Amino acid sequence: MDTQWPRFEVFEQEHPAQPHRNAGAVHAPDAELALLNARDVFVRRPDCHSLWVAPARQILARTLEEIEAAEQLATPPPAEGTPAQLYQVFQKQSQRQAQTYVVHVGAVEARSAPEALDLARQRYEGRQVFVWWIVPEASIVRSTPGEAASLFAPARDKPYRQPSFYRVLTQMRAVKSGETGAAPGETEA
Partner 1 sequence: MTAAPHPALAAYLLGLADDELILGHRNSEWCGHAPILEEDIAFANLAQDELGHASLWYRLLEGLTGERPDRLVFFREASAYRCVQMVELPKGDWAFSMLRQFLFDAAEAARLGRLAESRYAPAGETAIKIRTEEIYHYRHTQAWIKRLGLGTHESHQRVQAALDVLWPYALQLFAPGPGEAEMTAGGLVPAAEDLQAAWEAAVVAALHESGLTPPADRRPAATDRANHSPHLAPLLEEMQSVARLEGPAVGW
Indicate the residue among 67 and 141 with the shorter CB distance to partner 1: 141
In angstroms, what is the minimal distance from the CB of 39 to partner 1?
8
In angstroms, what is the minimal distance from the CB of 22 to partner 1?
17
In angstroms, what is the minimal distance from the CB of 10 to partner 1?
11
Residues across the chain? 189
- Cα separation, 80 vs 52, in Å, equals 32
Angle (nearest 5°) at CA 72 between 70 and 76: 65
SS (H, E, C) 73-139: CCCCCCCCCCCCEEEEEEEECCCCCCCCCCEEEEEEEECCHHHHHHHHHHHCCCCCCCEEEEEEHHH
Report the interface residues with partner 1, using CB under 8 A.
Answer: 5, 26-29, 32-33, 36-37, 39-41, 44, 147, 149-151, 153-154, 158, 167-168, 171, 183-185
Indicate the residue among 105 and 151 with the shorter CB distance to partner 1: 151
In angstroms, what is the minimal distance from the CB of 54 to partner 1?
16
Indicate the residue among 149 and 189 with the shorter CB distance to partner 1: 149
Q: Distance between terminal CA atoms of the chain?
A: 54
Indicate the residue among 84 and 172 with the shorter CB distance to partner 1: 172
